[in-house]
Structure 1
Amino acid sequence: MKVELLHIVDCPNTAIAEANARAALDAAELAEVPIELVTIHTETEAANTRFGGSPTILVDGVDLFPTQPVRSLACRVYATERGYAGAPTPSQIEEALHETYR
């Protein structure tokens, strides 16, 4: 399993998205799976990847929270049980993993 966290430089939500993804992987008994941080530097890179805004969590190249790809260096917003946030919660990530890998 390959987990990538795509983000833009100085994204304020990268650290929380990484921590939440790590917590979800650990809870799903996937503690050995590393999270690769991938910095998107240019709009060309954004257009040539599955970048859905910063941060985007890909598992084996699939966005866990499908959205239209963006072609700009933009932030991403996630709907959570507490309202909109800059990263999905650990439980949302864990649920998306289970849905994707049943």
Structure 2
Amino acid sequence: MDFELLTIQDCPHGSTARELFSRAVELEGNNPALIAVRQIMTDEEADASGFHGSPTFMVDGIDLFPSTAEPAMTCRVYRTAGGLSGLPSLESLRQAIQARLAA
């Protein structure tokens, strides 16, 4: 499994996203040291990567939270029980990882 976190420069959720992803990956029985972090620098790179905002959580090149939005160099929001947030909940991230591992 390839785990990748995509962010933009100065993402206000970048470091917290890395911690969250590490925790979720570890809880699912994988080594969090395997997470690659890549900074998206241009609109072209965003388009080529299918990047829908920062932070984006990927497993094997697939966005764990598919989006119909156009690729863009922007912040991303996630639906949580408490409303919109810059990060998914730990539980929803774990569920997305589980679904991807089962696919």
TM-score by length of 2: 0.90
One-letter identity of the residue aligned with 2:62: V
The answer for the alignment partner of 2:35 in structure 1 is 35
The answer for the alignment partner of 2:15 in structure 1 is 15
Looking at structure 2, the residues matched to 36 and 11 of structure 1 have their Cα atoms a distance apart, in angstroms, of 16
Give the secondary structure class of the aligned counterpart of 1:57.
strand
- Point out the structure with the larger helix share: 2
CA RMSD in angstroms comes to: 1.4
Structure 1, unaligned runs of 5 or more:
none
The answer for the alignment partner of 2:3 in structure 1 is 3
Quote how far apart the aligned CAs of 1:72 are. 2.6
Structure 2, unaligned runs of 5 or more:
none
Looking at structure 2, the residues matched to 96 and 41 of structure 1 have their Cα atoms a distance apart, in angstroms, of 26
Moved >2 Å (runs of 4+): 68-72
The answer for the alignment partner of 1:87 in structure 2 is 87
Looking at structure 2, the residues matched to 28 and 86 of structure 1 have their Cα atoms a distance apart, in angstroms, of 22
Aligned length: 102
Q: 1:2-38 CA deviation, whole Å, 9 max, x = no partner?
A: 1111110000011111111111111111125511111
TM-score by length of 1: 0.91
| Identity of matched residues, % | 35
Give the secondary structure class of the aligned counterpart of 2:49.
coil
One-letter identity of the residue aligned with 1:52: H
One-letter identity of the residue aligned with 1:87: L
Looking at structure 2, the residues matched to 66 and 7 of structure 1 have their Cα atoms a distance apart, in angstroms, of 16
The answer to whether the Cα contact below 8 Å between 1:3 and 1:33 also exists between their aligned partners in 2 is no
Deviates more, 1:9-18 or 1:29-38: 29-38
Q: 1:57-90 CA deviation, whole Å, 9 max, x = no partner?
A: 1100010000035333111000112211111122
